[in-house]
Amino acid sequence: EADIYQTPRYLVIGTGKKITLECSQTMGHDKMYWYQQDPGMELHLIHYSYGVNSTEKGDLSSESTVSRIRTEHFPLTLESARPSHTSQYLCASTSNTEAFFGQGTRLTVV
Amino acid sequence: AQRVTQPEKLLSVFKGAPVELKCNYSYSGSPELFWYVQYSRQRLQLLLRHISRESIKGFTADLNKGETSFHLKKPFAQEEDSAMYYCALSRYNTDKLIFGTGTRLQVFP
């Protein structure tokens, strides 16, 4: 079934650890996005990609990095997690008419 | 720069009352406007887009280029409409999808 998947759903990790949030989509979309969202609050665009080997920073400055080696895969990495990175991270991919969102990863850095 | 403004963080109404969630945007070109909805414990999902000019779940939204607005309206709110609503903007057929700050709609019985 065509969908967009994020793993893990929840992650609690210690300060200074390196983490990678996974995002995969089986819809064949070229455009993919990462948003950061605190509960019930605004979505901030932190990274986007137009296709393989294309990545751009979004409107909100983020210490995270992304890669797009395959169309279906758009992982986000934090080299050294800090408590300020605690948030929900949403991945999305878009056709030209609609954005499809994953279920999100809720990250807590302690 | 593109910008989407939703002036109300919270809108509370009683069942059967009319609802209008406000959205204003700033963009010099021809934007595409969307409304996305996030029900409790569900994914963010598309509600409607201005190009399709549809009514979805009784909601409509008209793009007013003169006032740069895309307000979401429903004549009679239902309890199941309670959710977080986000207005979003994209340049036609291009890149970033920019969201507003969102409005939480609470519909009381």
Question: Touching check for A84 and chain B: CB below 8 Å?
Answer: no
Question: Touching check for A45 and chain B: CB below 8 Å?
Answer: yes
Residues in chain B within 8 Å Cβ distance of A90: 44
Better-predicted residue by pLDDT, B50 or B18: B18
Average pLDDT over residues A90-109: 91
Question: What is the SS3 assignment for B80?
Answer: helix
CA A16/CA B13 separation, integer angstroms: 46
Res A67: pLDDT: 96
Burial class of A16 by CB neighbour count within 10 A (0 to 12, 13 to 18, 19+): exposed
CA A31-B29-A96 angle, to 5 degrees, is 25
How do residues A18-36 score in pLDDT, each as one tens digit? 999 999 999 999 999 999 9
How many helices and strands in chain B, by DSSP H and E? 0, 11
Q: Would you state the structure tokens that stand for residue A62, as one six-digit string?
A: 């983020």
